[in-house]
Structure 1
Amino acid sequence: MSVTTTTHLNFRGDAREALDFYQSVFGGRTVAVTYKDAGAVRDESEADRVMWGEVAGDNGFHVMAYDVPFQLPWDQGENPFFVSVRGDDAEEVSALWGSLAEGSVIVRPLEPAQWAPLYGMLTDRFGITWVLDVAAPYNG
C-alpha cells in the first residue's frame, strides 16, 4: 500500500490558468476535468471551470487544484488549500478516514463518487480540510 499527500489549491475561476502556469514552471503533465466533463454542472456559467485538476511531473512535483463553485463559500485567505490523501487500497483509506474523522466536521462522507471508488472530505479539529480518496485510473 502506498499513500501520498498532495497540496490541493482552491481557486474561484483561475484553476486552469494556475495549473498551466505551474506546468510551465515545473514541467510534467496537466490534467483538467471540468464540471461539464464530470456531469456535475450546477450553474451553467461554471460548466467549463475546473472540477478536478493536477500537474504531475516525473521529478516528483504534484499539485492539485479546482474552482470552488459559486454556491460554496470561498475566501482565498480562509480556504486556499486542502490536503489530499490518495491511496490505492480502500480498506487503508477507510481506516485513515476513521482516525481523521474523530472530532471533525464531515464536509462530504467517504463514499463512492463518479470519479473515484471512494471519496470524502472533512475538516479536522484543527481547521484543516482533508480530501481522502482511492485512486482510479484516468481515461481522459
Structure 2
Amino acid sequence: MGISTTAHLNFRGNARQALEFYQAVFGGRLTVITYGDFGMPNGLPDADKVVWGQVEADNGFRIMAYDVPSRPEASPGGAAASATWRENGMTLTGQPFFISIRGESVEEVGALWEKLVDGATVVEAYATSQWAPAFGMLTDRFGITWILDVAAQHTAA
C-alpha cells in the first residue's frame, strides 16, 4: 500500500492568488474549481471563491487550497498570533504548521527561494547552516511559513 501526504491550505478569499503564485514558483499544473462551478448561483458573495484547488508538478511538489467561506476578517497570516520570528537563537511561532521543501542541491533550492521570497518576510536568510548545506525560512505574502533546505549528505558508518 502506498500513501502520499499533501498540505491543504485554508484561505479567506485569496486561494486563487496563492495557488497561481505557487505555480509560478514551483511549476506544474494548476486546477481551480469555484463554488460557482459546483452550482452556487452567481452573485452570491463566495461564488467566485475556490472550493478546491491544487498545484501539482512533475518534480513531486503538490499543494492544495481552498477559500473558507465568508469571514475575511480572519485572514491567515494577518494576526500577530500567527507570526513567526527569530529571537535569542530560537524560532518562535504562533502557527500550527510550516511547509518544508527539501532539495538535493543548493542551487536548485536557492532558485525556489529567490521566487518564493518575493513579497515575503524572511525569518532566517537562505544560507549554510550547522545541519544542512543550505537552509532558510520565510513567511510568504499569503501568511504561509516555508522552510527550504538542502538534504545533508550522510555517510554510512
The normalised TM-score by structure 2 is: 0.44
Computing the radius of gyration over CA atoms, which structure comes out larger, 1 or 2? 2
Greater share of residues in strand: 1
The normalised TM-score by structure 1 is: 0.49
